[in-house]
Amino acid sequence: MLSVVIAALNNEDTLGRTLSSLFSNTLSADEFEVIVVDNGSKDKTVEVANKFPVKVFSCPKRGQGPARNVGLSKASGDIICLTDADVIVPEDWLESITEFFSRYPNVDGVGGPVLAPLKGHVNELQKLEGELYARAHVFPTQMVESKFGDNIGMLYSANCAFRREAFVSSGGFDESGFDAVDIDFCWRLILNGKCLVFDPGLRVVHLGFPWSLRGVFNQQFRWGESRGILNMRYPRSRFTYAGLTTKVRMYYFPFVLFAQILCSKGKKKSVLQLFEKFALTCGCMNTFLKAWFKHETLPLQLGGGWR
């Protein structure tokens, strides 16, 4: 039995497409369940969910971690799959996950690429955001084991599945309120000796790229805050700005982008990338300043009640 857990917040425009893709899967409907956890939506997200044969629950505490933990507490499957409310999964997604765990009994979790859509964009800005995302996320082309401290081959919550025992042993997702709860969860599993594998054949398409500058800034700012928190929690990780080479790249990269704006024909993408870098850096610095002046480090908070 597979359980699919989806955390949703104001996703009335995309949730229907996500659920339609799940119920179009080749796996028989009696072999999986879908759980949608509403995280306080003010639109018609719950109404959309109720049009499908899913279990709908509410999570009043805001955040991806709390919402997913509520879903995990309601899940009955031995394998728990995670995706987002703005993702399209292929028709063989569930069957591929089932076959993977049957083939590799010693693997605790699997995930794969989260791709940008090729069409159907709201506007040109959203299209450019998808292109920049694709450029920044170079996914492995062969099956690899996920490593602590590295985002290459990491399992993202939009496209992953774990054995139930992995959630039980880890205590679930962090509930302190930052975005990168999936990376934090995977790193804790790896540090505890669990085996996670990135499978390039397990692909999904992510629809929810921002289509306004405000949306771009807010997303990148949150990602920057998350990077800062991961840096403080896991100072040995390669993902953070710990190494000298990484620091040099971090600081000279904006100047390279500025030169591209002046010299290249594709100025829009370079300007947008520079804007992203600015927002990401602001978020990261905001985390460091909070830790410095207010001693706020967002320590790990586990729900623990779903086990």
SS3 of 223-268? HHHHHHHHHHHCCCCCCCCCCHHHHHHHHHHHHHHHHHHHHCCCHH
Closest CA to 197 of 101, 127, 80, 114: 101
**How many percent of the chain have pLDDT more than 90?**
56
Q: In this structure, are strands 159-163 and 204-206 parallel, antiparallel, or unpaired?
A: unpaired
DSSP string covering 133-153: HHHH----SS-EE--TT--TT
Do the beta carbons of residue 66 and residue 303 sit within 8 Å?
Answer: yes
C-beta atoms surrounding 229 within 10 Å: 28
- Average confidence (pLDDT) over 11-36: 96
CA dihedral 229, 232, 235, 240 (to 10 degrees): 30
Residue 16 predicted with pLDDT over 50: yes
Q: How confident is the model at residue 14 (pLDDT cuts 50, 70, 90)?
A: very high
pLDDT (mean) for 149-156: 88
Greater model confidence, 229 or 91:
91
| Radius of gyration of the chain, Cα coordinates, nearest whole angstrom | 19
Q: So what's the pLDDT on residue 186?
A: 95
Residue-level pLDDT at 254: 56
Average pLDDT value for the chain:
86
pLDDT at 74 over 70: yes
Whether residue 101 is predicted with pLDDT greater than 70 in this model: the reply is yes
**Which has more confidence, 143 or 250?**
143
Q: What is the pLDDT of residue 242?
A: 44
> pLDDT above 70 covers what percent of the chain?
85
pLDDT in tens, 215-270: 999 999 988 888 888 888 887 765 554 444 444 445 555 555 555 555 555 577 87
Residues 266-280 have pLDDT tens digits of 577 878 888 888 888
Query: Is residue 306 over pLDDT 50?
Result: no
Place of tokens 């639109």: 43
Give per-residue pLDDT as tens, 286-300.
888 887 776 655 566
Residues in a beta bridge with 7: 37, 84
**165: pLDDT confidence band, cut at 50, 70 and 90?**
very high
Whether 132 and 268 have beta carbons less than 8 Å apart is answered as: no
* pLDDT greater than 90 at residue 73: yes
What average pLDDT does the segment 41-56 reach?
Answer: 96
Length of the chain equals 307
The pLDDT-based confidence of 41 (bands split at 50, 70, 90) is very high
Closest CA to 137 of 123, 156, 110: 156
Q: What is the pLDDT of residue 251?
A: 52
Predicted local distance difference test score (pLDDT) of residue 235: 78
Cα–Cα distance measured from residue 129 to residue 125, given in angstroms and rounded to the nearest whole number:
6
> How far apart, in whole angstroms, are the C-alpha atoms of residue 230 and residue 125?
29
- Across 5-9, 122-126, 127-131, 179-183, which has the greatest mean pLDDT? 5-9
Q: Average pLDDT, stretch 6-26?
A: 96
